[in-house]
Amino acid sequence: MQDVKYVKPKTLQEAVSILKDNGPTARVLAGGTDIIVMARERRRDTSLFVDIKAIPEMNGIHLDESTGLTIGAATPLYLCYRDPMMNQRFPSIVDSSSLIGGTAVQGRATLVGNLCNSGPAGDSIPTLMAMEGVAHILGPNGERDVPVVDFCTGPGRNVLELGEIVVNLHFPTPRPNSSGRFLRFIPRNEMDIAVVNCSTNITLDANNVVTHARLAIGAVAATPLFVPAAGEALVGKALTDETIAATANACRDAATPIDDMRGSIRQRKHLAYVLAERTIRDAVHRIRGEHTEWH
Ligand SMILES: Cc1cc2nc3c(=O)[nH]c(=O)nc-3n(C[C@H](O)[C@H](O)[C@H](O)COP(=O)(O)OP(=O)(O)OC[C@H]3O[C@@H](n4cnc5c(N)ncnc54)[C@H](O)[C@@H]3O)c2cc1C
């Protein structure tokens, strides 16, 4: 382990100035479930941990029906999946939150930490994309909003500049008659990194016609991928086996995976298809109040 100092600021401005004054080896510590491991293994040069958990604006979950959902950057995963409102209105965020790590990890880890770690297989990122998430950022030069679809720029890399901190994630209020689903494939039923993951958010009208659809897939490219062509293959069409297959094909075509110890290119492209199809069908089951098919 490196010789790392630790501070726990109580305000956002204090956190931003500490980060700016201490340069790139000062690291935000949210849950610490990625950054402590990386610092210990010397995969990230780290001189200072800036713990954000005591900053009030960075904690909590708040839904305003007119403006949408805000999740503070320091909010642990377990508070997301234990919240009855989240289960009812944002089930795909609950899917992602409840399968990252195990109980111990979920007691500390955050959605924003998963996003800022910017791993290609991060299990919340496709969901944050499908749900139209926007990262609200504060830095030495002021505030800015970055849609999650534009946030990750490469494996472990993102748009954050020196001194910048993600304050919260914001999502629009779910449309009536809409729902979402996240699924991942792992080779065994233990904690593991996804071979492929996928999240879908879909809205139907009274005639079973899709009025809005967003799909995103992970572990198939250098960053998690939002796939606009997949949503376009569904919108304005009735939900049939053919339209679902066209959408799943769009996900398979968008995937540009690598071969590695977890899966081959062929298997990952196939999984992109399968998970897209299953998440669409499950999201529709949820809209209709039926049980989901896949676990
Ligand atoms: C046993 C174990 C199992 C795991 N299983 C999974 C899994 O199944 N799926 C999965 O996707 N991941 C998994 N992970 C990885 C990790 O738990 C997740 O990525 C988690 O969501 C990270 O959140 P955190 O709050 O702990 O992030 P931290 O470790 O605190 O931070 C991660 C990175 O983001 C930066 N950061 C954090 N918050 C902010 C902010 N507000 N503003 C700017 N930068 C910020 C940090 O500086 C750091 O670079 C696992 C880890 C462990 C140890």
> Are both 151 and 227 inside the same structural domain?
no
Rounded CA-CA distance 113/258 in Å is 25
Rounded CA-CA distance 110/152 in Å is 17
pLDDT at 29 over 90: yes
User: For a pocket test of ligand 1, which of 7, 33, 53 has the largest count of ligand atoms closer than 8 A to its C-beta?
Assistant: 33
Domain membership flag for residue 96 = yes
> Are both 107 and 188 inside the same structural domain?
no
> Are both 76 and 40 inside the same structural domain?
no
pLDDT at 188 over 90: no
Ligand 1 pocket, residues with Cβ under 6 angstroms = 27-35, 37, 52, 73, 100-101, 105, 108-110, 112-114, 116-117, 122-123, 160, 165-166, 191
3-state secondary structure of 231: helix
Rounded CA-CA distance 66/159 in Å is 29
Name the pLDDT band for 237 (thresholds 50, 70, 90): very high
Residue type, position 134, single letter:
V
What pLDDT is recorded for position 77? Answer: 98
Average pLDDT for 33-61: 95
Rounded CA-CA distance 164/136 in Å is 10
Domain membership flag for residue 293 = no
Per-residue pLDDT of 265-289, as tens digits, reads 999 999 999 999 999 999 999 999 9
pLDDT at 197 over 70: yes
Per-residue pLDDT of 257-271, as tens digits, reads 989 888 899 999 999
User: For a pocket test of ligand 1, which of 51, 100, 106, 143 has the largest count of ligand atoms closer than 8 A to its C-beta?
Assistant: 100
> Are both 63 and 154 inside the same structural domain?
yes
Do residues 282 and 295 make contact, with C-beta atoms less than 8 angstroms apart? no
- CATH number assigned to the domain comprising residue 244: 3.30.390.50
- Distance from the alpha carbon of residue 35 to the mean position of ligand 1, in angstroms: 7
Return mean pLDDT, the chain.
Answer: 95
Nearest by Cα to 149 from 60, 224, 206, 94:
224
Do residues 218 and 122 make contact, with C-beta atoms less than 8 angstroms apart? yes
What pLDDT is recorded for position 291? Answer: 76
What pLDDT is recorded for position 193? Answer: 87
Nearest CA residue ID for atom 33, ligand 1: 117
Which range of residues forms the domain containing residue 221? Answer: 178-287
Both tokens of 248, joined, read 């799943």
**How far is residue 222 from each of residues 187, 233, 255, measured CA to CA in Å?**
21, 24, 10
> Are both 184 and 159 inside the same structural domain?
no
pLDDT at 191 over 80: no
The H or E element that residue 70 is part of is: strand 68-72
pTM over 0.95: yes
Nearest by Cα to 247 from 268, 216, 223, 290:
216
Nearest by Cα to 199 from 85, 266, 283, 73:
283
Rounded CA-CA distance 124/155 in Å is 15
Rounded CA-CA distance 227/171 in Å is 18
Rg (CA), the chain: 19
- CATH number assigned to the domain comprising residue 19: 3.30.43
pLDDT at 235 over 90: yes
- CATH number assigned to the domain comprising residue 163: 3.30.465.10
3-state secondary structure of 40: helix
- Distance from the alpha carbon of residue 123 to the mean position of ligand 1, in angstroms: 10
Nearest CA residue ID for atom 1, ligand 1: 101
Do residues 224 and 216 make contact, with C-beta atoms less than 8 angstroms apart? yes
pLDDT at 7 over 80: yes
**Ligand 1 nearest atom to the CA of residue 34, by list position:** 29
Both tokens of 3, joined, read 């010789």
Nearest CA residue ID for atom 15, ligand 1: 34
What pLDDT is recorded for position 190? Answer: 65
- Distance from the alpha carbon of residue 77 to the mean position of ligand 1, in angstroms: 10
Domain membership flag for residue 237 = yes
Q: Write down which residue in 153, 171, 189 finishes a domain.
A: 171
> Are both 167 and 62 inside the same structural domain?
yes
3-state secondary structure of 62: strand
Query: How many domains is the chain partitioned into structurally?
Result: 3
Per-residue pLDDT of 118-137, as tens digits, reads 999 999 999 999 999 999 99
Do residues 160 and 20 make contact, with C-beta atoms less than 8 angstroms apart? no
